[in-house]
Amino acid sequence: MVASYLTSELKEKFDKDGVVVIRKVFSADWLEKTKIAIEHNMASPSQYGEKVKGEGGSGSYFNDYLNWQRIPELLEYVYQSPAAEIAKFLTGSQRIVFYHEHVLVKEPNTTKTTPWHHDQSYYPLDGDQMCSIWMPVDHVSKSETLYFVKGSHKKGYFMPYKFATELPYPLSDPSKEERAVTFTPIPENIEEIGEVVGWEVAPGDCVVFAGKTVHGAPGNLSARPRRVLSTRWVGDDVVCAERPWVCSPPVTGNLKPGETFQQDDLFPYVDC
């Protein structure tokens, strides 16, 4: 039996818009464990960690991923928090696979924005049953929140952009240029794609969005941090794919293009 907040209306909205907000899902215990995990990650980042700054402002934008197996609180979150059940229900998948986690921290007085993008262009993944669960541990006002373009998950693939420079990803090989043209540049006027929506969110809330939903965020000019754990989940129809650039994260395990995810330590099935 699924949780009471996982309703047919919520699923219909997710399918239509590519994004939903769910209120008061994560307990104070999960929030405290996540804060510990984020602090651990920032103190000991992986090879993929980075801190970038915008023009002016004293704060930085930290992000890092693929640390869930070495940070106990993240490992526990993957297997025991409500996240897996949420992802399985909203994607409509029979089984749900944990892909990776992403810690996203905008310190106070951070001018660095998050460029408009969608996640799946960065990943070596094709398919529709993929989602992210964006869970803040701090109050996030509408001036610092993540914004989404409704329905953009149904409009094909868009070009990925570097967070640090906001420039398109470079090709890993010039011979792949023909493949790259199938990825549409993000227009300067984002509303050409669709209606933009975003929510004020409180600790315990989460925003769930599809792998191809376009999103972006302003900086954090408030006096408090904006600390977020975002977890990525894939379902039955997702297969490994080739991209014309170096993927982020650049990890596929033993998967070859066209293959579906199988149970392994890197991309585990999570029972829920």
> What's the chain's Rg over C-alpha atoms?
17
The answer to whether 222 and 145 are in contact (CB under 8 A) is no
Is the pTM higher than 0.95? The answer reads yes
Q: Which two tokens stand for residue 113?
A: 């924005």
Please count the residues of the chain: 272
Return the pLDDT at 87.
Answer: 98
What is the DSSP code string of 209-221?
A: EETT--EEE--B-
223-236 pLDDT, tens digit each:
999 999 999 999 99
Return the pLDDT at 261.
Answer: 85
205-251 pLDDT, tens digit each:
999 999 999 999 999 999 999 999 999 999 999 999 999 999 999 99
Report helix, strand or coil for 122: coil
Distance separating alpha carbons of residues 211 and 198, to the nearest angstrom: 17
Distance separating alpha carbons of residues 15 and 18, to the nearest angstrom: 6
Q: Which parts of the chain register pLDDT below 70?
A: none
Question: Which of 182, 163, 180 minimizes the C-alpha distance to 115?
Answer: 163
Return the pLDDT at 254.
Answer: 86
Report helix, strand or coil for 210: strand
Distance set, CA 234 to CA 86, 96, 259 (Å): 12, 6, 13
The residue assigned the tokens 């090879």 is 47
Return the pLDDT at 173.
Answer: 80
The residue assigned the tokens 């408090």 is 224
